[in-house]
Amino acid sequence: MPAARKPNPKSQKQISNDQVDPFVSPETNESYGDPNIPSNFDQFTANKQSGVSFNRSEQMSFKGDTSKPFTVGLQDIDESIMFYFQNVIRPFVYQNGTRIEVPIIYGSPEKWKSVQKDGYYKDKNGAIMAPLIMFRRDTIDKNRSLTNKLDSNSPNLYTSWKKSYNGKNSYSNFNVLTNRVPVDQFLVNVVPDYVTLTYSCTIQTYYMDQLNKIIEAVNYASDSYWGDPERFKFKASIDSYSTAVEISDNSNRMVKGTFTIKLFGYVIPDTIQKDLTAIKKYNSKSQVIIGLETVNGLTEFVSSTNGKKQQINPIIVSGGGGGAGGGGTIDPATLIYLNTNIQKLGTFVDNATVTFPSGWLPAPTGLTPTSLNNFSIFCNGTLIENEAIISFTSLGNLSTLVIDPIELGYGIDSTDEVIAIGKFNN
């Protein structure tokens, strides 16, 4: 007797799905299954439930690519302020005849709480650190007056730039011979989320003249773009400063100054949602330009249609001196005929007849006589198939088109625009 199997407990999802009573159509008595299971009903596919339209063709790999996806985070904005203080403003004071660089620190929650509690910042030994500049980020406000991506689940606005070199399209003589236009590769980013950030800054010094010198340097740098020139720069604005001299009971004297930096920045996050829905790079369309080619002494062309071979009327070109690749000298009249493609506007006669004010260009010797197959006819921009044309004839300087309204599905009206493009003689 086989051993009893240990039962497997159901997951919470299985328990929830068991409680769903599938919908049954009263007309067809057909059950559409459990909507919580995507395979039961096409309406409840994963993409339609999440609202994310995933297109695998737009997800190009960055493997081996020296250019990486572009991202800007809040930490990058914080670091731009730190960089500008340390490398551009470079505040300093004089104390006892010595020039002292003012240190800049970011106000982590622990450091900021210590400053708020004691009134000044101390080092690990309990000594007051002065001079000193401390800053921290207070608020982040979204700026909707500038552009946005419209819909994060399906971004519509992008910024793009072309790469200067694409390794898959290196120069070759074959590309020159075939007039091949190489593919350009573009890097793409969704437009950023523009934000306005505010930073609280505190300056603590021993003397007022030291505080004045720091404020003068910071105020001079206001209304400019702060950050590393080789990374990111953001416009900073400082409107007011407050100064105070504090003396505690134990005779510790501290000069403090506070001000607020308003920074206009932008954020492009590195998130899974953006990777799934946003285009990161794409290639332009490749082109191969083929000019007119002739072959000397060709007697027939054979093509295959639905697996059956058929003979096509040949194009005979009178041969002269053999050129490269076996080509001969082409007759000028043949060249003019092959390159002719003239557009004419038709004149309404009745609901099945239209005339064009031009005759047909006769085909040179050796080419198939000019016929309906050498023309494309459009009614209001829609191609009229040859099956719907009863006849298209030329007499003198007038070409007449007769259609079958039943086969075409409609008759020609006097307000319709009928255009023929082909081998007219003028």
Q: Is residue 226 pLDDT above 70, yes or no?
A: yes
Which range scores top for mean pLDDT: 46-60, 167-181, 185-199?
185-199
Q: What is the pLDDT of residue 23?
A: 61
Helices (H), 157-271: 173-177, 208-220
Confidence of residue 307 (pLDDT cuts 50, 70, 90): very low
Residue count of the chain: 426
Confidence of residue 39 (pLDDT cuts 50, 70, 90): very low
Which range scores top for mean pLDDT: 12-21, 42-51, 116-125, 138-147?
138-147
Q: What is the pLDDT of residue 357?
A: 92
Distance CA 122, CA 130 (A): 9
The boundaries of every CATH 2.40.10 domain in the chain are 333-422
Q: What is the pLDDT of residue 320?
A: 42
Q: Are strands 375-379 and 185-190 parallel, antiparallel or unpaired?
A: unpaired
Distance CA 98, CA 101 (A): 10
Distance CA 133, CA 259 (A): 11
Q: Which CATH number is 74-146+192-267 given? A: 3.30.2000.40
Least confident of 178-182, 209-213, 418-422: 178-182
Distance CA 364, CA 370 (A): 9
Contacts of range 149-154, beta carbons closer than 8 Å, 24 or more positions apart: 149/190, 149/191, 149/193, 152/273, 152/274, 152/277, 153/50, 153/51, 153/52, 153/53, 153/273, 153/277, 154/51, 154/53, 154/277
- The string of DSSP codes covering 318-366 is ---S--GGG--PPPHHHHHHHH--EEEE-EEEETTEEEES--BPPPPTT
- The string of DSSP codes covering 10-49 is PPHHHHHHHT----B-TTT--B---TTSGGG-GGG-HHHH
The boundaries of every CATH 3.30.2000.40 domain in the chain are 74-146+192-267
Q: What is the pLDDT of residue 6?
A: 67
Least confident of 277-281, 363-367, 372-376, 400-404: 277-281
Confidence of residue 418 (pLDDT cuts 50, 70, 90): very high
Q: Is residue 13 pLDDT above 80, yes or no?
A: no
Pairwise pLDDT comparison (219 vs 149), residue with the higher score? 219
151-160 average pLDDT score: 77
Least confident of 36-40, 92-96, 342-346: 36-40
Q: What is the pLDDT of residue 319?
A: 41
Q: Is residue 69 pLDDT above 70, yes or no?
A: yes
Distance CA 307, CA 284 (A): 34
Q: What is the pLDDT of residue 327?
A: 47
Q: Is residue 148 pLDDT above 50, yes or no?
A: yes
Confidence of residue 48 (pLDDT cuts 50, 70, 90): very low
pLDDT digits (tens, 9 = 90+) for 73-89: 899 999 999 999 999 99
Class of CATH domain 333-422: mainly beta
Confidence of residue 325 (pLDDT cuts 50, 70, 90): very low
Distance CA 108, CA 188 (A): 35
Determine contact, residues 348/356, Cβ cutoff 8 Å: no
Q: Which residues pair with 141 in a beta bridge?
A: 196
- Residue 150 carries which DSSP code? S
- φ and ψ of 18, to 5 deg: -65, -20
Query: Quick one: what percent of the chain has pLDDT higher than 90?
Result: 22
Which range scores top for mean pLDDT: 48-52, 329-333, 406-410?
406-410
Confidence of residue 328 (pLDDT cuts 50, 70, 90): low
